[in-house]
């Protein structure tokens, strides 16, 4: 299945049914009077987040969604049938923007969350509705109200606990394949990862988290260089960033790699530069102890925090890194649970 994280679609709710002009005509009943029924409501357009989708690829082939018109009224005071609601199912983490791509209309970040985007039109009134003591035989009936229509942009931000960032060939895909069942493409050339990948890490029966691997960033990504920074949105919701740096490069190149990624995160915005970050010197199986110490010391002086080391291929210190990630994820979940509890009014 191809990955697609942006799509533009057209949605239109149903028009209301028309009211009708009708009169009761029965033998032995004089002056039956008006009995034209009202029209039925048009169908609504509702978006719903479901947990069995992870791409917007379906919207590449189906881009127009229209709800049906409500049924027209009928004689004997019969109201027209209401049209069925059209439910558009999207992956969890889908944001809905207006056509200007800036005004957010909804953020479906939980399974089962719904958004009524376009309300169906109300049905028109039949002539029975307009009967009064002075107007015993009205011949007026209203047309149904029109539904709403608009073009909207869908943008998917994957729901993950940990975001993998780093330059191309930093070993992100190898790390993801080592710690999870994900099988991303791995090769010895840059940009083997062309779209985000998700992997589930299970440390124990009760401890697990989701890692999102995005295509590597290069200098000038915020200006569109390489694959640009469009995939950084998938790590905006993460509790912590795991920044992998290729340890086989020279010390100056290692420092330059760290500075490049930090600069791109700041330029992108979205609070990424302020997220907790674990910096890991990767591929240490190919380094001598003194080379590892030199690079770690230089990085710690530059960034002012403790640097971890690891080799995904040799599985060196991988468990230590995963435990550190789990600690951040557990703490973040506890804080969100407390916040949700504080915001939820007691019954």
Q: Is 282 annotated as a binding residue?
A: yes
CA atoms within 13 Å, Cβ hemisphere of 167: 22
Smallest CA-to-CA distance from 68 within 51, 52, 81 is with 81
Q: Is 285 known as a binding-site position?
A: yes
Would you tell me how many other CB atoms lie within 10 Å of the CB of residue 87?
Answer: 13
What is the total residue count of the chain?
347
Residue 52 labeled ligand binder: no
214 known member of a binding site: yes
Is 169 marked within a binding site? yes
Q: Which residues of 26-37 are buried (b: 16+ CB within 10 A; e: fewer)?
A: eeeeeeeebbbb
Calpha distance 203→161 (Å, rounded): 14
Number of H helices, E strands in the chain: 5, 14
Residue 193 marked ligand-binding: yes
Residue 213 assigned ligand-binding role: yes
Would the annotation count 191 as a binding residue? yes
171 annotated among ligand-binding-site residues? yes
Q: How far apart are CA 318 and CA 175, in angstroms?
A: 9
Of the candidates 148, 115, 109, which has an alpha carbon nearest to the alpha carbon of residue 14? 148
Rounded CA-CA distance 87/154 in Å is 15
Are 242 and 165 within 8 A, CB to CB? yes
Q: Is 192 annotated as a binding residue?
A: yes
CA-nearest of 70, 81, 152, 158 to 117 is 152
Ligand-binding site membership of 34 (annotated):
no
Is 311 labelled as part of a ligand binding site?
A: yes
The verdict on whether residue 313 carries a ligand-binding annotation is yes
Binding residues for Mg(2+), by number, are 173, 193
Known binding residues for GTP are 166-173, 191-195, 213-216, 282-285, 311-313
Cite the annotated binding site by residue number: 166-173, 191-195, 213-216, 282-285, 311-313
């Amino acid at each position: 299945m191809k990955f697609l994280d942006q799509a533009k679609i057209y949605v239109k709710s149903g028009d209301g049914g028309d009211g009708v002009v009708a009169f009761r005509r029965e033998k032995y009943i004089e002056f039956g009077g008006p009995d034209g029924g009202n029209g039925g409501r048009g169908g609504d357009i509702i978006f719903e987040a479901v947990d069995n989708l992870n791409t917007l690829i379906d919207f590449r082939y189906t881009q127009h969604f229209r709800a049906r018109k409500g049924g027209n009224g009928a004689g004997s005071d019969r109201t027209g049938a209401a049209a069925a609601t059209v439910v558009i199912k999207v992956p969890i983490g889908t944001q809905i923007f207006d056509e200007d791509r800036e005004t957010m209309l909804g953020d479906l970040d939980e399974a089962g969350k719904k958004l009524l985007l376009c309300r169906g039109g109300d049905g028109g009134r039949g002539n029975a509705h307009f009967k009064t003591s002075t107007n015993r035989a009205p011949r007026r009936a209203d047309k149904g109200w029109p539904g709403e229509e608009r073009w909207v942009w869908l943008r998917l931000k994957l729901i993950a606990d940990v975001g993998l960032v780093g330059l191309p060939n930093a070993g992100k895909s190898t790390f993801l394949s080592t710690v999870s069942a994900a099988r991303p493409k791995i090769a010895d050339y840059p940009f083997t990862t062309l779209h985000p990948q998700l992997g589930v890490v299970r440390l124990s029966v009760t401890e697990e988290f989701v890692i999102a691997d995005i295509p590597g960033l290069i200098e000038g990504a915020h200006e569109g260089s390489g694959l640009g920074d469009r995939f950084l949105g998938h790590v905006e919701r993460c509790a912590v960033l795991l920044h992998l740096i290729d340890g086989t490069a020279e010390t100056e190149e290692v420092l330059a790699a760290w500075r490049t990624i930090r600069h791109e995160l700041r330029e992108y915005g979205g609070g990424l530069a302020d997220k907790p970050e674990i910096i890991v010197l990767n591929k240490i199986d190919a380094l001598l102890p003194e080379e590892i110490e030199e690079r770690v010391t230089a990085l710690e002086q530059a960034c002012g925090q403790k640097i971890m080391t690891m080799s995904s291929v040799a599985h060196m210190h991988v468990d230590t890194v995963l435990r550190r990630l789990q600690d951040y994820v557990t703490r973040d979940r506890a804080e969100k649970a407390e916040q949700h509890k504080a915001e939820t009014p007691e019954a």
